[in-house]
Chain A
């Protein structure tokens, strides 16, 4: 851990909040992508089975 001195709180909170926001964005994008792909596949399979 580098010596951050009196600004440790500011630096660590900036990194924590930013990386958390990026992680949420990636997680939400992946979850929505998987959900839509599964729905489309299920619909196409149902259509193919008819």
Chain B
């Protein structure tokens, strides 16, 4: 069976209906256990105090804000190259979820930064590119809403997604490109010296798994909605012609 069979809307609806409850349920359990473990079961950090508990929201949300855009990039490329409608609709469905993750990461980052850095915001390379990524999310959603013809909207938003990918990548690697700014390096690393301590690491992993699964569940659900809406619009357009 070819991977492209899943691009058939009918097949996508069948498979997503079967998978969605499991992904959503497992995601909810992972997130609940991870957050409860992180909030109630981990100690204060010796430097950051109790603010370290903000990490369980900030890190997964930031990770998904960036990778959500990269998922939209992959879907947009599939649309541009192979013209599969489901991929364009999946990219559209993911945008509000990615925007919410970006807002969560920005807000929790500001709340965390104030006591640690002495300021809510600084024009640091990573923070600035992250803010621009958030604006790209807004622009992407607005562009979809602004164009009536669905295929033209999918084409233009895909191009916008390609351009915005620069900022998605920058916000991940800005710390490495520019050796300046207040934001620390990655919390998770294969280097044991750089990685967070085990006591924080395992609940953080659970929170990340929970956020990823909830992101997936929301994108699947919202893509199903977009497919239904597209079908309704197609039926109404056909009836107007008859």
Expressed in whole angstroms, the minimum distance between the Cβ of B171 and any Cβ of chain A is: 19
Tell me the total A-B contact number using a CB cutoff of 8 A.
Answer: 90
Structural contact, A44 and B235, CB atoms closer than 8 A: yes
Q: Which chain B residues (221-239) contact chain A, with CB distance < 8 Å? A: 221-222, 224-225, 228-229, 231-232, 235-236, 239
Structural contact, A39 and B54, CB atoms closer than 8 A: no
Structural contact, A2 and B104, CB atoms closer than 8 A: no
CA A36 to CA B100, docked complex, whole Å: 22
B96 interfacial by beta-carbon distance below 8 Å: yes
Given contacts A11-B53, A11-B54, A25-B100, contact A40 B228 (CB under 8 A): yes
Which residues of B lie under 8 Å from residue A14 when comparing CB positions?
54, 57-58, 107-108, 111-112
Expressed in whole angstroms, the minimum distance between the Cβ of A33 and any Cβ of chain B is: 4
Out of A2, A5, A25, which one reaches B40, CB within 8 Å? A2
Residues of A within 8 A of B (CB): 2-8, 10-11, 13-15, 17-18, 21-22, 25-26, 28-30, 32-33, 36-37, 39-40, 43-44, 47
4 extra A-B contacts, CB within 8 A, seeds A5-B44, A17-B111, A25-B218 = A10-B54, A11-B54, A25-B96, A43-B235
